Structure 1
Amino acid sequence: MKRRTLLAAGAAFGALARPSFAQDTWPQRPIRFIVPAAAGGTNDVLGRYIQDPLQKLLGQPVVMEYKPGAGGAIASQYVAQQPADGYTFLLHGSGLVTVPLVQRKPSYDALKDFVPVSLLGTSPMVLMTHPSMPPTLAGFVKQAREHPGQLEWGASALGGVGQLAMEAFHEAAGIRKMVMVPYPGAGPAAQALLAGQTKYMLSTPSSATAGFVKEGRMRLLGVSTAKRSPLLPDVPSIAEAVPGYDTQTWFGLVAPAGTPAPIVERLGGAVAQVLAQPDIQQKFRTVYVVAQGGERELGEIIRSDHALWGKVARDNHITMD
């Protein structure tokens, strides 16, 4: 009797131990990072910066896969439906939170369908204007207040953080009834600004925009963070003219809900080791991103963004199909 009891207990222990063993030996095959845009975007660039050192730490290939479309919703919905086995992750940014908040029929829930793995970095947005606009932030805000409904502004994605952050800027600055013109990406939106088809936009900085500023074809009037950014120390903070305005974009890794905690912790720890390398930090700065890791930090950002942008979307009646 005792022998049968011991055998049964041993079998039960073995069954309980198997998942832990599998997690302890993770990864045993290639890992996929799903990117919600075409190759060449900031998500992709950051992923490729950390790809090789991560492969060396984890002992398995890290494969980048691209699923663009619907503001990132296609990739997000895809990853949410994948097995929570630690082999598929989503390399996304602020749009992970904003898109379902403005969809009439949300295709996923950013809070329930994913678990944070690690923040990768943060970047300020920049108020970019056409040279025909006043050369200072205070001058631009004054003109915009005095001419409601008479200026066009570009949005790089309907329901994206650029659109929501601009609406929050309008509200904080007392700017009313301007004309939004949507574009399929930051590149086309910037080209419209250069051509004078729009007069201003909020977007993340890039080497391309730095070149346009140097050529005198575009101005950078303010960064969206509460204080000046170390990435653009000569550009004032929008809060200097519009007190209280403070926002930024972020990039990070999330996994399908239910992914075992030991796997999340191991990948997050490996990412932290990579981000601590000085050469990686310098590479991130070249695309105007401050390298920053942390599972808890990403979770906090996702929750705070959900509350902030949800209110902005509701207050401004922003919806999309």
Structure 2
Amino acid sequence: MAAFNVTHAGPSTFILVGLPGLEAAHIWIAIPFSVFYLIGLLGNFMILLIVGKEQTLHKPMYLLLCMLALSDIATPTFVVPKALCIFWFSLKDITLSGCLTQMFFLHMVSLMHSAILVTMAFDRYVAICNPLRYTTILSNAQIAKLGVVGLARAVLFILPLPLLLSRLPFCANRLIPHMQCEHTAVAKMSCGDISVNRTYGLVLFFIVNGLDLTLIALSYGFIIRAIFRISSKEAHQKTLNTCTAHLCVMLMYYTPSLFSNLTHRFGQGIAPYVHIILGNLYLLLPPMLNPIIYGVKTKELRDKMGKYTCIM
């Protein structure tokens, strides 16, 4: 708590507390944070390197993996460096503009991540349920266009969050009980009416996540039906392995995300640091585990990873 005695928020500055109630353990908590972050960076950069160098992997599925890897690099990068500055050096100050910028990019990349997962589910649906038309429906150019649409959607939906907050007055107490500028946590620092911010954030969460999860569920409903119709055991197993990898990645992303958002909004009796740890699980674990899951479950990528690992 001594750090609070020497840190003073200026007129346009916030103070990120980190993990309230666990300040004494900040140095030790920073160790798994940094390890998860470094492993995630290594794995995702390896996927980008392998797919970039191997012509045989220049296919829509692997282009989507590269987009997912870029998202998995960006997401923790907007959080972990600042979190480590808080944990190790008690550098807790962040300007209002810096806070709103971090919020925009963090939520924007999260929404982009969700769009990529929807596109991956659609890619598997076409590959399994309509394989003869796969190359005409989904080409590398089509995937790139879908990526641009997903990015535009993320920017348009997230941009109002910092714009709405920038119009609000903020109270003298600017201690944000969080390690990053999460929208709800920053909104609570305002002395003005935040009902519009709360409503927009809640509607955005349920509509976007509800739509994305519905599309994914429909895709995998058709995929599961098609899998049971496959007579060849070898083709059945290959298809099942690919779908298992995608399902693991999606469950690993959406489950902590949904649980964190719901407990943050409705679980008032839960300790603040529990909210924060849950909120950071889907920022750290998926980027670290996604390359491992795809490396294990996708034979073509696994073989290339083995080749480059031996070279290194």
TM-score range, shorter chain: under 0.3
With structure 2 as the length reference, what TM-score do the two structures score?
0.27
Structure with higher helix content: 2
Structure with higher strand content: 1
Higher Cα radius of gyration: 1
